[in-house]
Structure 1
Amino acid sequence: MELFGRHAETAVLDRLLSRAADRAGSGLVLWGEPGIGKTALLDYAVEAASDATVLRCRGTRMETGLAFAALHELLWPVLDRLETLPAPQAAALRGALGMRRDPANRFLIGAAVLSLLSGLARERQVLVVVDDAQWVDEASALCLGFVARRVATERIAVLLTGHEDPASGPWEGLPALAVGGLADEDARQLLTAVVPGIDAALADRTVQAAGGNPLALHELPTLDRETDGEAPLPHAGNPVPVGPRLRRAFCARAEALKPSTRALLLLAAAEGRGDRHVVQRAGAAWGIDTSAWDEALRSGLLHASGSRLEFRHPLIPAAIYDGSPFTERQAVHQALAAALPQDATMERAWHLAAAADGPDEDVATLLEHAAEECLRRSAGPMAARTLGRAAELSPKPADATRRLAAAARAAWHAGNAEAARQLLEEAERLSGVLPVVRQSGGLRGILEFAYGMPERAHHYLTSDMAAVPETRRAVELGTVAVRAAWSAGRSDLQQAALRRVRAVDVAADSAVSELMPVLENWWSCYDLTGEAIPTTRDLASDVVGRLGTVAWELLPPVPLVQAWGIDGGLLDVLRMQAVQLRRRHELTALALVLAQIAVLDTAAGRWGAAEQAATEGLRLAEEIEADHVATQSRACIALLAAARGEHRAVEEQTNRMLQVSVPRGVRALSASAYWIRGRAALFDGRPQEALSDLLCLVEPGHEAAHTTFALLAAPDTVEAAVQVGNNDVVGFQLAMVQEWAQRTDATWARTAGHRLTALADGGSAAEESFRAALDVAGAGTQPFEYARTRLLYGEWLRRARRRADASAQLAAAAETFDRLGAGPLRVRALREQALTDRRAAPRGTDPPTVAGLTAQELRVARLAADRLTNREIAAQLLISPRTVGHHLANVYPKLGITSRTELARINFDGDLRLS
């Protein structure tokens, strides 16, 4: 039938399909109230894409709890294409679709579906249509959302419909189009097409009652005529929302049928999956015979195709179910539970739960067992909902508390922190705080650490250590408390938490007892503010190796590992953790580990891998609304942007970092943002601005003051201070690095100590320090920092007029910067090399050139001709901006010019005449 009043919507669909045909695929969510015409728009798109491969499915209320049910329906026509997928993807997808018993791996399944669709799209355009997405099971929804966000270069269009604005949830980030009601004139045209010759008065009442809802325009006038004028249309002065009117309308249609047919429709509505065999078995004892089936199918409310049942519109089963008395719904669910196969544990549990009219321990236990099966299949969200319902049916508060706590843990692991927090609060209202702490394993502190304020997390975690029954869990909570204090920049709280960890009696747990010295030494050797605690580099390295097989809570933060200089070992541990967390679908912890992997890959010069890990971690963290973890991923992205000279990206990412970290007191993240800003300014030739940001790291009481980051940022701080001539800062920072190098023997600290000594000296003794920095064993494992040392050494050699040596160092530095994509420093190295490779001036004290310029004036003039600012020239030549201005004031009259514009026209490779 023709679509009325939908020109704007169909134009959007046409553009979507056209772009997809040109390999610019996209997803689109059509949303609006039931009956508003979303399905009709889907039908329009399917017809418009007549040459495309169309894959279609529809969410159903009953299958909402069945993992991958919608995906099974969607891919059923193309299951023969599974053979074309890589073996791991094919195995994962077969497991999801019930063809194998492989555990579900969300990432592999999403990748498999994307690969499958991409393969189809190579043959012809693909249109994926998902109707009633609000009832699609969560596993399918997350998979389809994953796919829809990744088809930008494919001949694939993904269309979904739902009732709510998809601003959050699995469709978050996808384009959305709100489908509203029809205008009165368009509604009249549709009504006339549906009911030719309709009475004008009835038409007016129908248009007013329908409120622009096309489904109401189809159904209400027909019902009015079928009930001899006693239609359930509202009085003109008594408007009622469309939803209730339509429910009454559909119920009126069902009430006209005989009782056994109505019972059949209620069974089908409550069953929800469209399984005709289950409905038939459930209805057999109710006297539902062939005549009832015939009447139901003739009514047009229900359609049958083979073993599948489908209502004409999803609003119909909702209306029938909601309009039935509870006693009837209760009996229907009991009948359906009895009719299910023995292995349908989850479905039976939920039907019995729906039939329960009060606390029922047997049903609650059955739900709990079903949730355990969900957890074994890594279906955390479904497990959380199932345990929540089990808690509602628990007769004893203690059992309800236990189940709510377990639901909270399942929700946390699945990445739904808000649901976890609400479940914990509900449990606390039942039984108080301490029982919930015991049952949840101190989850409130972990949630606060990951999402809230680190000082409050420290308080929860240290308090809850004594409440949890397991020794290992107490140690884990204490270790996270130490980390929370470190994040807050509170060394006093850090030591207090460490004392709590030391006080745990681990004698009864041999595994924890063996681990305890490792943890104690690890955190003790990082007391940057206190006295040096005797330890060895081998012991610290052993700590990282021993932690590779334990929970993520025991892993140290990456900046501390970098400070100790044993990050290579931790990278292997984190990669192992990532594999395990993916397998268990622990999304929050996985996002955290990915962010830390990205930082380590950046330091090791694997910038492509780092960006990939950071981007994935950020996307995952944003999907689960883990702000702290997202901020850590942003830090890595901003760090790369600073080295690449991407000023806008640095500003955007660090602003968003500070928006999260400052109000919550997460000084580690705030310090990271200031450090990144300082590096960006330093690399861009703005040393004074860089120094202003970097000195915040050591300013008492500042929002970015943090001992660890101040130490790690010392090489940048000293370089900026040298360029602006701030010797007081140089001495303090250099002493800090040298002390740490002596204490830990960390490669980076030894290298930095030598490099900063050379910068601070600046004279003839600097060469020895530069050479020592380059010769430190392992210094080359951080190629970016190694190239920075070569650049500074090359600049020193050029000033010492050792052209050949300078050129070699500068060329090597430029090559590394080019390979990494560090644009600003590459340009600086190449400029220095160009100055070095030009004919040297005769020896003496700045003899005049043929144009009367001294050698230094010539250097300044060349850089000014390249449109560098005075500040940038000063940074390049290690002089002050005022000195640059003095030289230019001499250059202009010597060359007979008056401005930089004319200076840019000078041929500096010729005889310095105007070109």
Structure 2
Amino acid sequence: MELFGRDAETATLHRLIARAADGAGSGLVLWGEPGIGKTALLDHAVEAAAGCTVLRCRGTRMEAGLAFAALHELLWPVIDRLDALPGPQAAALRGALGLSRDAANRFLIGAAVLSMVSELARERPVLVVVDDAQWIDEATAHCLGFLARRVGGDPVLVLLTGHSDPASGPWEGLPALEVGGLTDDDARALVATAVPGARQALIDDVTREAGGNPLALHELPTLDRAPDADTPLPLLGDLVPIGPRLRQAFRARVAALDPPVRALLLLAAAEDRGDRLVVQRAGAGHGVDPSTWDDAVRSGLLRTSGSRVEFRHPLIPAAIYDGAAFGERQAAHRALAASLPTDAVEERAWHLAAAADTADEDVAALLELAAEKSLRCGAGPTAVRTLRRAAELSPAPADGARRLAAAARAAWDAGQAETAGQLLDEAERLGDEAAVARAGGGLRGILEFTTGLPERAHHYLVRDMRVAPSSRCLVQLGSVAVRAAWSAGRTDLQQEALQRLLAADTGDDPSLTEQLPALRIWWACYDETGALTPIAPDGTGDLIGRLVTAAWELLPPAPLAQAWGIESLLHDVLRVQAAALRRRHELAALAVVLSQTAVLDLATGRWGAAETAGTDGLALAEEVGADHVATQCRGTLGNLAAGRGDEPAVDEHTTRALQVSVPQGVRALTGSAYWPRGRAALFAGRPQEALGHLVPLTEPGHDAAHPTFALLAAVDTAEAAMQVGHLDLAESRLAAVTAWAQRSGAPWARSAVHRLHALIRGGPAAESSYRAALDVAGAENHPFEYARTRLLYGEWLRRARRRADARHQLAAAAEVFARLGAEPLRRRSLREQDLTDGPAARRGPGPSAGLTAQELRVARLAADDLTNREIAAQLLISPRTVAHHLANVYPKLGIASRADLSRIDLLGDLRIRVDAHGG
């Protein structure tokens, strides 16, 4: 078929086909208004891709609500390749295609399609063609988006067409090409070719009316007039868009047909799946016989092939359906519903729903069954639409409220937090509060916990525990209630919720019976006054191992697990959780798990993984509207930036976190923002500023006051306090860590006790304390903190003039800091090593060659913009001594002021020497 005016588009397609043949796969979305020529471009691509394996499908309105319907059409020609897939992928794909009863695991299905297409591409290039992607069912759309983004290394080209810009939705991120209208010259050439012998007046009329739309240019000359006629085209006014013009023209053509043919066309338009047998059975009561089919085909609007029926263009069934009277559409849908087998629950439900003009409980119940099936298939948004329609058709308000609440829960699980909130509001206006809470599984409190006020979330969650639909739901709501109180820093509410939870009747569920003791152990940390309770933590690690399959709500928040020293155990559980949630496409819960994983990765020295999990969790949380989860991700990314010395990033992340956490009273999140600010200042050598951020964590009534974060930040607070001479504050933080170490046995806490003893008490016993800190079993599992201990120990050894021992500890610390990217402490370790070499150490020819070791250290700190007081705090000397050293440095370096230091390389010869030591 000849294409007019499409040189640029066809050149793009040919280039992509050639690149795919060379192994550089890609995807492209062609988009534009109906009839603009997108399908013609796909046909051209298929013709141009000679020698390729072509997989093709088309979206339809009726099948848009049927999970994996389009995928079934796409893969049916190569269904025999299923057996070559890995077992789990093959099983999941069989379930999606209706070939087995296996669960439809969305992640595995996407992986299976990618594996199948990649395997086909080993034989010859593959062209995947998807027309009318705007009507593709959601499950297939996500699967094809997964495919299109991952074929870069395979000879595969994925082409899709749609009506709107794919800047968002399942095709987000794919290259897109807008297909516009033809120029007047190309339009005239197309009409002249499509209608041989047409007079110039007709060609000009059609060109003017069609607005460059190729479908209009094809259709308008042949509607209601002869091609050689001189009368104007019988179209609507000039201001009417081309879509309505064409629809009106098609309706006029249909109106001229016999009633049985019109009935057949309406049935085919309403069926929308292209199943000729269903349409034929439905038409039996409308006078449709074989001759009717012949007349329909002769009309040029419909064509058949075996058991399939399709319209010449997707605009035609839309025009036929929209142009029919409501009573005619009702009759068509009822006939189609009656012609379907009883196990076609979803199709029957939607046909009957389309036919309903009043409330109908039977249809609503059928839609509810269809929604349950969609949920089992992982098609949450489809279930939401189905349940919402079921609510509309519910005669009893209570049933409507119950179905809206179930729709809200499905929307939440699918990552649609805003939609979930709107549906829940509708349900609560319509029905009883307790019934709605039961149907939604206590969703109000969960929504409030992720986006609102934690104390209010606690209220809703405790209230809804009484009407939880199952023991498992009851325990989950109770766990989130405890977590909400913890987030608010309210130990009194935490204990109240915990007592309710522990008193709950778990029925005969053995897994819950095992889980409750674990919940009691890690949540019963504080009494109502905030003091530590004497409950022993024996068995915490064993208990958490039993929660691998438990919902995220039953797991402790990551900072609390960090305090208990069970990071690795919880990390393993969360890794399993994340994989399962990805498979089920439960985006909201996945965002929570990723945010928790990032905290644990950071604590255990997996900083690259922490950045990935935190960034992914942040993007996902923002996408689903989980404000508090996004804020926790920002707190973790801020803490990571603090360790790396990226203070602009610390400021950005913590400022945005506080904008959410402070107004909503989420003290855990506020504390998680204050902590990295304090650490950033401490690592940069500004201990007084650090205390300004760290001390509020323990101040009653402060927005950042939170016992867990006060405990985790105790070591940083004590170190900053010692640098500015606040011995009492340092001693109080040592006491807090000591009490927690005795209670929990956490390796980090036991190691920190020894480290702080050495730092605070000093003297000859300091060395044994430093060694004890390094020797604590499990302390090395926190490499950043372990290296900080070695750094402090190395500094102590240097001051004791034990240079060889100091060099060993400092080099080891520098190596860890370099690996992690902890630049401020790496530089501090390098400076200490330089001092360890002593003033007689051989220097290179650099600008610092004439400086003593102490002068060099002072100069480097001054070059980093530290004040004399801050330098003195780091070097344990007086500010007057700092000024004395700087007065010697300036003439030696040939400079006049402190500002000139930043232009001098004071680290070059040091780096060479440290590398020689293995640092």
Give 1:874-913 correspondences, 5 Å limit: 877=875, 886-894=884-892, 900=901, 904=905
2:544 partner amino acid = V
**Please, which runs of 5 or more residues in structure 2 have no aligned partner?**
911-919
CA contact (8 A) 2:20 2:155 kept: yes
Q: Which residue of 1 aligns with 2:771?
A: 771
Structure 1, 117-126 or 302-311: larger mean CA deviation: 117-126
Q: Which residue of 2 aligns with 1:437?
A: 437
Q: Which residue of 1 aligns with 2:236?
A: 234
TM-score, with length taken from structure 1:
0.87
Counterpart-to-counterpart distance in 1, 2:705 and 2:220: 68
Q: Which residue of 2 aligns with 1:667?
A: 667
1:433–1:615 CA distance, 2 compared to 1 (3 A): same
Counterpart-to-counterpart distance in 2, 1:309 and 1:783: 66
Q: Which residue of 2 aligns with 1:265?
A: 265
Q: Which residue of 2 aligns with 1:912?
A: none
Counterpart-to-counterpart distance in 2, 1:198 and 1:886: 100
CA contact (8 A) 2:621 2:627 kept: yes
Give 1:515-594 correspondences, 5 Å limit: 518-526=518-526, 530-538=530-538, 540-541=540-541, 544-545=544-545, 547-548=547-548, 550-578=550-578, 581=581, 585-594=585-594
Matched, 1:746 2:750: no
Q: Which residue of 2 aligns with 1:856?
A: 854
Counterpart-to-counterpart distance in 2, 1:36 and 1:884: 76
Secondary structure at the counterpart of residue 534 of structure 1: coil
Counterpart-to-counterpart distance in 2, 1:252 and 1:825: 79
Task: Please give the per-residue CA displacement for 1:557-607, whole angstroms capped at 9, x wherever unaligned.
Answer: 111121122334433443454455456554322332233233323323344
Give 1:607-646 correspondences, 5 Å limit: 607=607, 609-610=609-610, 613-614=613-614, 617-618=617-618, 620-644=620-644
2:816 partner amino acid = T
Counterpart-to-counterpart distance in 2, 1:452 and 1:31: 39
1:856–1:58 CA distance, 2 compared to 1 (3 A): same
Displacement of 1:614: 4.5
1:90–1:816 CA distance, 2 compared to 1 (3 A): farther
Q: Which residue of 1 aligns with 2:371?
A: 371
Counterpart-to-counterpart distance in 2, 1:670 and 1:850: 44
CA contact (8 A) 2:31 2:179 kept: yes
Task: Please give the per-residue CA displacement for 1:790-815, whole angstroms capped at 9, x wherever unaligned.
Answer: 12212322232212111222233234
Secondary structure at the counterpart of residue 99 of structure 1: coil
Task: Please give the per-residue CA displacement for 1:457-488, whole angstroms capped at 9, x wherever unaligned.
Answer: 22322333344465654443233122122223
Task: Please give the per-residue CA displacement for 1:177-233, whole angstroms capped at 9, x wherever unaligned.
Answer: 554555666655655554567566655654554444333333223215259858551
1:854–1:286 CA distance, 2 compared to 1 (3 A): closer
1:325–1:503 CA distance, 2 compared to 1 (3 A): same
Counterpart-to-counterpart distance in 2, 1:615 and 1:692: 28
CA contact (8 A) 2:864 2:902 kept: no
Q: Which residue of 2 aligns with 1:56?
A: 56
Q: Which residue of 2 aligns with 1:846?
A: none
Matched, 1:337 2:330: no
Give 1:687-836 correspondences, 5 Å limit: 690-695=690-695, 697-698=697-698, 703-723=703-723, 730-761=730-761, 763-820=763-820, 822=822, 824-833=824-833, 835-836=835-836
Displacement of 1:538: 0.5
Counterpart-to-counterpart distance in 2, 1:136 and 1:635: 39
Structure 1, 769-778 or 457-466: larger mean CA deviation: 457-466
Counterpart-to-counterpart distance in 2, 1:75 and 1:906: 62
Q: Which residue of 2 aligns with 1:111?
A: 111
CA contact (8 A) 1:864 1:900 kept: no
TM-score, with length taken from structure 2:
0.86
CA contact (8 A) 1:488 1:667 kept: yes
Counterpart-to-counterpart distance in 2, 1:801 and 1:44: 81
1:316 partner amino acid = I
Matched, 1:140 2:116: no
Counterpart-to-counterpart distance in 2, 1:37 and 1:294: 28
1:120–1:662 CA distance, 2 compared to 1 (3 A): farther
CA contact (8 A) 1:754 1:773 kept: yes
Secondary structure at the counterpart of residue 223 of structure 2: helix
Secondary structure at the counterpart of residue 240 of structure 1: coil
Task: Please give the per-residue CA displacement for 1:649-705, whole angstroms capped at 9, x wherever unaligned.
Answer: 656655554555455443323432343344455445665665554455446665544
Counterpart-to-counterpart distance in 1, 2:907 and 2:820: 34
Displacement of 1:442: 1.7
Task: Please give the per-residue CA displacement for 1:368-388, whole angstroms capped at 9, x wherever unaligned.
Answer: 233333333333333333232
Counterpart-to-counterpart distance in 2, 1:721 and 1:22: 64
1:629 partner amino acid = V
Matched, 1:348 2:348: yes
Displacement of 1:106: 0.9
Q: Which residue of 1 aligns with 2:386?
A: 386
1:836–1:24 CA distance, 2 compared to 1 (3 A): farther
**Please, which runs of 5 or more residues in structure 1 have no aligned partner?**
843-848, 910-915
Q: Which residue of 2 aligns with 1:602?
A: 602
Secondary structure at the counterpart of residue 435 of structure 1: helix
1:603 partner amino acid = A
Counterpart-to-counterpart distance in 1, 2:582 and 2:552: 13
Displacement of 1:322: 1.4
Matched, 1:406 2:406: yes
Displacement of 1:66: 2.0
1:479 partner amino acid = S
Aligned sequence identity (%) = 70
Matched, 1:169 2:131: no
Matched residue count:
899
Structure 1, 619-628 or 308-317: larger mean CA deviation: 619-628
Task: Please give the per-residue CA displacement for 1:103-131, whole angstroms capped at 9, x wherever unaligned.
Answer: 11111111222333344556665443322
1:602 partner amino acid = L
Superposed CA RMSD: 4.0
1:711 partner amino acid = L
Displacement of 1:525: 1.4
Secondary structure at the counterpart of residue 129 of structure 2: strand
1:36 partner amino acid = I
CA contact (8 A) 1:870 1:884 kept: no
Q: Which residue of 2 aligns with 1:453?
A: 453
Secondary structure at the counterpart of residue 99 of structure 2: coil
Secondary structure at the counterpart of residue 34 of structure 2: coil
Counterpart-to-counterpart distance in 1, 2:783 and 2:815: 11
Counterpart-to-counterpart distance in 2, 1:817 and 1:717: 21
1:300 partner amino acid = G
Displacement of 1:6: 5.7
Task: Please give the per-residue CA displacement for 1:398-437, whole angstroms capped at 9, x wherever unaligned.
Answer: 2222222222222322322333323322222322433312
Counterpart-to-counterpart distance in 1, 2:872 and 2:156: 54
CA contact (8 A) 1:268 1:279 kept: yes
Q: Which residue of 1 aligns with 2:916?
A: none
Task: Please give the per-residue CA displacement for 1:30-62, whole angstroms capped at 9, x wherever unaligned.
Answer: 433322333344445555655755433211112
Structure 1, 260-269 or 282-291: larger mean CA deviation: 282-291
Counterpart-to-counterpart distance in 2, 1:660 and 1:907: 44
Counterpart-to-counterpart distance in 2, 1:11 and 1:704: 60
Counterpart-to-counterpart distance in 2, 1:690 and 1:154: 52
Q: Which residue of 2 aligns with 1:275?
A: 275
Displacement of 1:536: 0.6
Counterpart-to-counterpart distance in 2, 1:689 and 1:156: 57
Secondary structure at the counterpart of residue 408 of structure 2: helix
Secondary structure at the counterpart of residue 537 of structure 1: coil
1:16–1:611 CA distance, 2 compared to 1 (3 A): farther
Secondary structure at the counterpart of residue 525 of structure 1: coil
Counterpart-to-counterpart distance in 2, 1:584 and 1:619: 19
Structure 1, 467-476 or 377-386: larger mean CA deviation: 467-476
CA contact (8 A) 1:851 1:895 kept: no
Counterpart-to-counterpart distance in 2, 1:84 and 1:692: 63
